[in-house]
């Protein structure tokens, strides 16, 4: 996998407004927010897309969801937030390093897209 923008952020080669970090993931504010709260949760393990994950990644994937919920709670939006994972260019993925978008602070419609 080539070095992505997110890998550069993880390695501190590019600055970011980091809100959370542990051994497995990093979370930072999106530089082009689509909601008042727009935070990305990125695994440190380089996985280009969700479909590239295997059974061996199940603990990591669960961890990303738990971290996202904790961050939403810390941001004051535990009762109303959206969690988005885009898989592939046609789904809106622009950085090919798996990531979860936490979106909150405004109403969201359905269907999304």
Catalytically annotated residues: 99
Nearest to 28 by CA among 50, 10, 11: 10
- DSSP letters for 55-101: GGGHHHHHHHHHHHHHHHHHTT-TTSEEEE---SGGGT--SSS--EE
User: Is the bond into 111 cis (omega within 30 degrees of 0)?
Assistant: yes
């Amino acid at each position: 996998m080539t070095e992505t923008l997110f890998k550069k952020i993880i390695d501190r080669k590019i600055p970011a407004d980091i809100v959370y970090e542990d051994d497995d993931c990093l979370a930072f504010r999106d530089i082009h927010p689509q909601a008042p709260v727009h935070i990305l949760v990125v695994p440190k393990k380089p996985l280009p897309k969700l479909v590239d994950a295997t059974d061996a990644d199940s603990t990591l994937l669960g961890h990303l969801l738990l971290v996202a919920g904790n961050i939403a709670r810390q941001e004051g939006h535990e009762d109303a937030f959206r969690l988005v994972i885009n898989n592939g260019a046609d789904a809106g993925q622009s950085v090919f390093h798996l990531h979860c978008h936490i979106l909150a602070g405004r109403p969201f419609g359905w269907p999304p897209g």
